[in-house]
Amino acid sequence: MTRDQLERLLGDVAAGRLDAATALDRLRHFPTEQLPFAQLDHHRSLRQGHPEVIFCEGKTVEQVEAIAERLVAATGGFLGTRATPEQAAALEARFPELQWNPLGRTVYLPSTAAASSPGTGDLLIVSAGTSDLPVAEEAAATATAFGLCVGRLTDIGVAGIHRLLNQSRRLAQADAVIVVAGMEGALPSVVGGMISVPVIAVPTSVGYGASFGGLAALLAMLNSCAAGVTVVNIDNGFGAAVAASRILNSRQPSAVSVAPPMADG
């Protein structure tokens, strides 16, 4: 349940348009709903400004469908990451308006109720190479679902640094930047040294043997000589987008804050 939905429900009760028993019935799965294989957190939207997201990897098609149906009932939509084509096909059959991003492996059913506090600011997602695009697209799809304005710069890694320098004006216009890179993972350091806004680095598992499945890029980013670069886990485009959303939304009054009670009289 989102903040807006809860406010409307309480307003209907206060105005006498809805009786308490009916309101209580609508809250029967609040704050959590127990399924045989999952416990859904319907309170998350109130705490964090966005509802629970489905991590589809490792789940059966039936499990993903069941979770999605319950999230739609609660918020009107859902976002899923690491989805398989089989999972996406089943969800598309059930929800015709589903947005399936096969490159980023995300499934997204938009809902006006899903974002209780629309995101603000310009998020730029920079990928070092074409092979890094799946992770970059996961970040883009997640950020879009969270209401952010998303731009992309693709294939501008340090192997051809002139490509990056040619985009210096675009980089300077962004309010936050996610940098996705594999191989040696040097791109976030370069970007971090060029701009003043938050830079979130995402190492990818792209690279030859000595890249150790992204570990080399991760360590390079953690040891960045550009001050203030934030690093998330290997291939975690979702986590980078969540971090960017929280940073940009922190400019606005908290969507989960509770107003103090007013004094009588």
Q: Please check whether residues 91 and 173 belong to one and the same domain.
A: no
What's the pLDDT score for residue 258?
A: 37
What's the pLDDT score for residue 259?
A: 36
8 A C-beta contact, residue 147 and residue 109: no
Domain annotation covers residue 204? yes
Report yes or no on whether pTM surpasses 0.85: no
**Domain assignment of residue 90, given as a range:** 27-109
Q: Please check whether residues 50 and 153 belong to one and the same domain.
A: no
Q: Lowest-confidence range among 26-35, 89-98, 208-217, 225-234?
A: 26-35
What's the pLDDT score for residue 13?
A: 64
Q: Please check whether residues 99 and 135 belong to one and the same domain.
A: no
Task: Look at 73 and 261; give whichever has higher pLDDT.
Answer: 73
Tell me the pLDDT tens digit for each residue of 100-133: 999 999 999 998 554 444 556 799 999 999 999 9
Q: Please check whether residues 104 and 135 belong to one and the same domain.
A: no
- DSSP, collapsed to helix, strand or coil, labels residue 225 as coil
Closest CA to 184 of 218, 138, 228, 152: 218
pLDDT score of 28 more than 60: no
Q: How many domains does the chain have?
A: 2
CATH number at residue 199: 3.40.50.1970
- What contacts 158, CB < 8 A, 6 or more positions away? 128, 164, 184, 186, 187, 190
Asked if omega into 31 is within 30° of 0 (cis), the reply is yes
